[in-house]
Amino acid sequence: MTQPTNEMKWVIAQILLIDPTSEHPRIHPKRTEMKKGQLTKRLELLVQAYEEKNVPIDLEPYKETIKTLRKMRMQGEYQTLIDEIVLGVSVANQKEKQAKEARKKMDQSTIPSSKKREKKEEQSPISINETEKTAPPKGWLSSLKSKVSLLKKSE
């Protein structure tokens, strides 16, 4: 029985994930039922594509994973490995969701107090109107209004 390493799990997870580069990893439901031969073939094609494009990464973990998968003779051993990877990703997603919900609750509890402060800081409509009347005219519209009012007074 071969012992799967963390590198091996990481390599296989790249195939199982919907989007390996995503911040929120999700495993495709049908890929959990993928046969060992199909997974091996996908890994071989991935290694071949990396080699053809001369991608500067270490391909040794990928090649070791392929060798280890080929050495697995029992279906239960392979399925246990897949289940471990799926469980690890789902636990990570659950922890992330719990943290997100906790942050959301914290944000919701702090929002009402900030709204109260905003309401206190707002001026009443009466004081705003008084300020507008006493404020010196600024801008082209107010100067135009003052000229029109002077013309009306002179007529």
Nearest 5°: the CA angle 116, 97, 33 is 160
According to the model, what pLDDT value does residue 126 have? Answer: 52
For residues 15 and 12, what is the distance between their CA atoms, to the nearest angstrom? 5
Flag whether pLDDT at 85 surpasses 80: yes
Q: How many angstroms separate the Cα of 89 from the Cα of each of 13, 43, 93, 113, 139?
A: 9, 19, 6, 37, 61
Flag whether pLDDT at 2 surpasses 70: no
Among 15-29, 34-48, 69-83, top mean pLDDT goes to: 34-48
Flag whether pLDDT at 54 surpasses 80: yes
Q: In terms of pLDDT, which residue wins out, 91 or 111?
A: 91
pLDDT, tens digit (0-9, with 9 covering 90-100), for 5-35: 788 888 888 888 888 777 777 888 888 888 9
Q: In terms of pLDDT, which residue wins out, 111 or 151?
A: 151
According to the model, what pLDDT value does residue 106 have? Answer: 80
Q: What is the mean pLDDT of residues 101-111?
A: 77
**Residue 54 lies in domain:** 6-118
143 found inside a domain: no
12 found inside a domain: yes
Q: DSSP character for 31?
A: G
152 found inside a domain: no
Alpha-helical runs (H) found in the chain: 6-16, 36-52, 60-71, 75-121, 125-134, 139-154
149 found inside a domain: no
Total tally of structural domains belonging to the chain: 1
For residues 41 and 133, what is the distance between their CA atoms, to the nearest angstrom? 80
Nearest 5°: the CA angle 35, 39, 41 is 115
Flag whether pLDDT at 134 surpasses 60: no
20 found inside a domain: yes
Q: What is the mean pLDDT of residues 68-78?
A: 86
31 found inside a domain: yes
For residues 65 and 4, what is the distance between their CA atoms, to the nearest angstrom? 9
Flag whether pLDDT at 64 surpasses 80: yes
69 found inside a domain: yes
Q: In terms of pLDDT, which residue wins out, 51 or 114?
A: 51
44 found inside a domain: yes
Flag whether pLDDT at 124 surpasses 90: no
